[in-house]
Amino acid sequence: MFSGCQFSLYPMSDDFVNVILPAIEAMGKPDDLRVETDDLSTLVVGPPHRVFEVVTAAYEAACKAGGHVVLSALFSRGCPGEPDDPICTPDGPAESFRQRQPGPTTGVEVDAQFSLYPLGISSYMSTIAKVVDETRESGALDRSKNFCTRLNGDLVEVMTALENAFNSAARDTGHVVIHVTASKGSPSKKA
């Protein structure tokens, strides 16, 4: 099963290069992942839990550099059409799933919004409704907006809720995508 992420970090700062590059390095040089950066995003390919781990580490490092920093990320699993991977084949739905519990909090408070796309099935709206309900139980759910769902909480709580949503939806279809925008330190954040 081919899974991975394209993500970008946006520090609203003149010094953005010196926030982004150390944040990418905070992922380490993981042997079990493929990591490639271009001018638009960084690709991470590997097992879903590891992908969420290193993307969270990169965003945490960028947030701790200070100021207003946004993460924009696309997580995909089971895509049947990846151009450069011969082992990439369509998958059936995942057989098992367990809700992960968040690890230790990071002290970084974020607001986020995500959209979930279970592909190739006519019943995708009920998959989305079920998964958003599960997100409510995680405590990270904020509210629905047009085209997306808001989350908030500690960075690790928000990212764990996303990882659980991603894997939960894979019980209904092999190909699942989540897009998320997370924001720390926005001056227009409502109290």
Chain residues that interact with a copy of itself, rule: CB under 8 A: 4, 6, 8, 10-14, 16-17, 37-41, 43, 45, 68, 70, 72, 74, 76, 79-85, 111-113, 115, 117, 119-122, 124-125, 128-129, 144-148, 150, 177, 179, 181, 183, 186-190
Tell me the closest approach of the beta carbon of residue 139 to a copy of itself, in angstroms.
19
Within 10 A of 72 (CB to CB), how many other CB atoms are there?
Answer: 15
Tell me the closest approach of the beta carbon of residue 104 to a copy of itself, in angstroms.
26
User: 29 vs 190, which CB is nearer to a copy of itself?
Assistant: 190
Tell me the closest approach of the beta carbon of residue 88 to a copy of itself, in angstroms.
9
User: 16 vs 97, which CB is nearer to a copy of itself?
Assistant: 16
User: 10 vs 97, which CB is nearer to a copy of itself?
Assistant: 10
User: 98 vs 190, which CB is nearer to a copy of itself?
Assistant: 190
User: 104 vs 187, which CB is nearer to a copy of itself?
Assistant: 187
Do the Cβ atoms of 52 and 159 come closer than 8 Å?
Answer: yes
Residue type (1 letter), 185:
G
Tell me the closest approach of the beta carbon of residue 43 to a copy of itself, in angstroms.
6
Tell me the closest approach of the beta carbon of residue 9 to a copy of itself, in angstroms.
10
